[in-house]
Chain A
Amino acid sequence: MSSVLDQLVNKPYEHGFRTDIETESAPKGLSEDTIRMISGKKNEPEWLLEFRLKAYRHWLTMEEPHWPNVKYPKIDFQDIIYFSAPKPKKKLSMDEVDPELLRTFEKLGVPMNERAALAGVAVDVIFDSVSVATTYKEKLAKVGIIFCSISEAVRDHPELIKKYLGSVVPPGDNYYAALNSAVFTDGSFVFIPKGVKCPMELSTYFRINTEESGQFERTLIVAEERATVSYLEGCTAPKFDTNQLHAAVVELVALDNADIKYSTVQNWYAGDENGLGGIFNFVTKRGLCQGANSKISWTQVETGSAITWKYPSCVLLGDNSIGEFYSVALTNHMQQADTGTKMIHLGKNTRSTIISKGISAGRSNNSYRGLVKIGAKAAGARNYSQCDSMLIGQKCSANTFPYIQVNNPTATVEHEATTSKIGEDQLFYFRQRGIGAEEAVSMIINGFCKEVFQQLPMEFAVEATKLLGLKLEGSVG
């Protein structure tokens, strides 16, 4: 009976190819020597090596978190390659980028060539451990915006990195953040100076290519007073039977009246129908609304990864600051997701909105976990949370774990949750009106996710709509 739905969810992963490119990889394993090697390869200053080693030593004393509602075999951290870079490692201008790499990203639909680029989107491209290209750098520099890889930023803007790196997610914050702080290889750095409105969308595209390599990128975005920026992140990986670890850290800092919008379309390889292979996506993302009237908005569309463990959060320190979290998490087959957000209200009249849409198909498990915390001084704080789950088929599950801590009597906190199901009758209704099952599912899902998709920049919204359609092909019945 579930045949129509089944066919619909089981569309093959489109980005599963592997680029045959010569890479330079570190040997497997993690030790202080590995860290010194990574730091040395990147010619890092002493303080950064110290930052890494301190994080590593702290990590050694920590334990993997066991509270998420996910199951996976123990990760052998000595069986991972911590550094892998396409040769030549030397940073090249756009015209000199290895044509094989250009072709890879073309195939993925990521414009690396500025002339052919999507109008108005600047891209930083990360391949395994290194940034291979950043577009529109010069144009952005004219208005004072810094957009480059974190390695370059360490070299060219050490004072900014020193000031902000680890300021929102301290190296010892959690197990995977500590690991990332020890071994992060590359990532993007964005700095929007006072009063500047970033004239285009900024975006980073992450690609894991090497089997058995981990990706540990670090993203840091700083928006000074009255600055605004919209940033997008996309990710894919080839199909491997082994699991790869992706443990990223993203830090956002918004000063007075600044506005940061961070959007993610995550399509890491999810493993096959039986749960073999796929990415372990253990990510720490946090934004600090440091200034008064600042705003940080997270939008995420999570469709890939064997396991997703991530809680993009907002610390609302500045008075009247605003935090938002809009999320669509889709799981199929054997995928597991434990994702949500934390809204920490510290300043007065701070406001937060959480809209979470979980879609589970196949035998997957999809959990929303969210914390709303109102501090003692956060007078007049308000939160509204809405968590909706949709089930497709009989064998999947959805859970909601809301945590609410209120320490100020003037706060208002609202939480709503619903669960629905795409069933045969809903599909039959569409089909009786002449609309095919595939289109019907896509329409139902898009209707369900509407409030989140509306938050995405235009091109990404189209992309996300298509992506969900592909992911769900064959899952209806």
Chain B
Amino acid sequence: MKNEQGRAILEVRGLTANVAGVPILKGMDLTVREGEIHAIMGPNGSGKSTFAKVLAGHPAYEITGGTVRFEGKDLLGIEPEERARAGIFLGFQYPVEIPGVSNSAFLRLAYNTVQGARGKEELDPLEFDDFIREKMKLLDMDPAFLERSVNEGFSGGEKKRNEILQLATLEPKLSILDETDSGLDIDALRVVANGVNSLLRPDNAFVLVTHYQRLLNYIVPDYVHVMEGGRLIKTGGKELALELESRGYDWVVEEDRANTSGRAAAAATTAA
């Protein structure tokens, strides 16, 4: 594990959230510092994707408690587009298709909007074309992508690669990748992983939400967290992922249950 002296980018404390009145997040705590890669693993339905979407501000979720600070500032009070401009990027599990809108027009509008908001220079179509072609090389993408409609008719792998291209374009501070590895064959997985590895800098950070360990063969996390029942129940180093792969999740859940009841008993003793 890394030293804990890096500047905190994200601080989540006691976060709870509902969807359609049903509690999904039940007390999330997480701190992400500059230069770190975190993996959040856990069984289906543990709330991993919800957590990712809540950080990005998806309107379907209602925040019921807790705080989230991004670079020291409250995050929950601002709109999704403002969060994006501030430097939060969500790589979608299911990227949407936008017929009739070319990838290049979409990327350029997103880039210029974000640049403008960050007080940086916007690019005209020609300059942007040069810029984006460089980024595409990184991901081994065919420039013909630019003229196609956003995600329309893309294969699963192309869609995910397109997400990483957007990530590379927008240069976020914190990237949250929601099941980016799902639906990828081994070659696509390697390309995506190489992209992520090359985009990590000392002043940004990644949170990988994933169900399987295999992505972590290519992207080595500093921390592995296990999520269950809407909160993190265990945190370890990269070796935890391998342990989960061989032993499954049940033992972690058991361990947590024991700890929780132990704490409850201790609390009861203290109270008495």
B60 at the A/B interface (Cβ < 8 Å)?
yes
Residues of B within 8 A of A451 (CB): 100
| Cβ proximity bits A426-462 to B, threshold 8 Å, 1 near / 0 not | 1011111111110100011011111100000000000
B85 at the A/B interface (Cβ < 8 Å)?
yes
How distant is the Cα of A424 from the Cα of B106 in the complex, in angstroms?
18
A119 at the A/B interface (Cβ < 8 Å)?
no
How distant is the Cα of A425 from the Cα of B110 in the complex, in angstroms?
17
The distance from the CB of B113 to the nearest CB of chain A, in whole angstroms, is 4
B59 at the A/B interface (Cβ < 8 Å)?
yes
Known: A428-B59, A443-B106. Is A435-B100 also a contact (CB below 8 A)? no
B96 at the A/B interface (Cβ < 8 Å)?
yes
B80 & A447 in contact (Cβ 8 Å cutoff): no
Interface size of A by CB at 8 A reads 25
B170 & A434 in contact (Cβ 8 Å cutoff): yes
| Cβ proximity bits B89-120 to A, threshold 8 Å, 1 near / 0 not | 11010011011110001100110011001000
Residues of B within 8 A of A420 (CB): 99
A60 at the A/B interface (Cβ < 8 Å)?
no
Residues of B within 8 A of A443 (CB): 98, 101, 105-106, 109
A116 at the A/B interface (Cβ < 8 Å)?
no
Give the interface residue-count category, chain B: 20 to 34
Select which of A430, A432, A436, A450 is within 8 A of B56 by beta carbon. Answer: A432
Q: How many Cβ-Cβ contacts under 8 Å join chain A to chain B?
A: 76
A434 & B99 in contact (Cβ 8 Å cutoff): no
| Cβ proximity bits A173-215 to B, threshold 8 Å, 1 near / 0 not | 0000000000000000000000000000000000000000000
- Closest-by-CB residue of A relative to B91 is A432
A435 & B109 in contact (Cβ 8 Å cutoff): yes
The distance from the CB of B53 to the nearest CB of chain A, in whole angstroms, is 8
Residues of A within 8 A of B83 (CB): 432
Known: A434-B85, A434-B170, A436-B81. Is A447-B99 also a contact (CB below 8 A)? yes
How distant is the Cα of A123 from the Cα of B141 in the complex, in angstroms?
50
A447 & B113 in contact (Cβ 8 Å cutoff): no
Which of A429, A436, A450 is most buried by chain B, counting CB atoms within 10 A of its CB? A429
B166 at the A/B interface (Cβ < 8 Å)?
yes
The distance from the CB of B170 to the nearest CB of chain A, in whole angstroms, is 7
B101 & A434 in contact (Cβ 8 Å cutoff): no
The distance from the CB of B163 to the nearest CB of chain A, in whole angstroms, is 10
Residues of B within 8 A of A433 (CB): 84, 106, 110, 113-114, 166, 170
B114 & A434 in contact (Cβ 8 Å cutoff): yes
A435 & B98 in contact (Cβ 8 Å cutoff): no
The distance from the CB of A30 to the nearest CB of chain B, in whole angstroms, is 46
Q: List 25 A-B contacts (CB under 8 A).
A: A4-B59, A424-B60, A425-B96, A428-B56, A429-B95, A429-B96, A431-B57, A431-B81, A431-B84, A432-B57, A432-B84, A432-B92, A433-B110, A433-B170, A434-B84, A434-B110, A434-B113, A434-B114, A434-B117, A434-B170, A435-B81, A436-B113, A447-B99, A449-B100, A451-B100
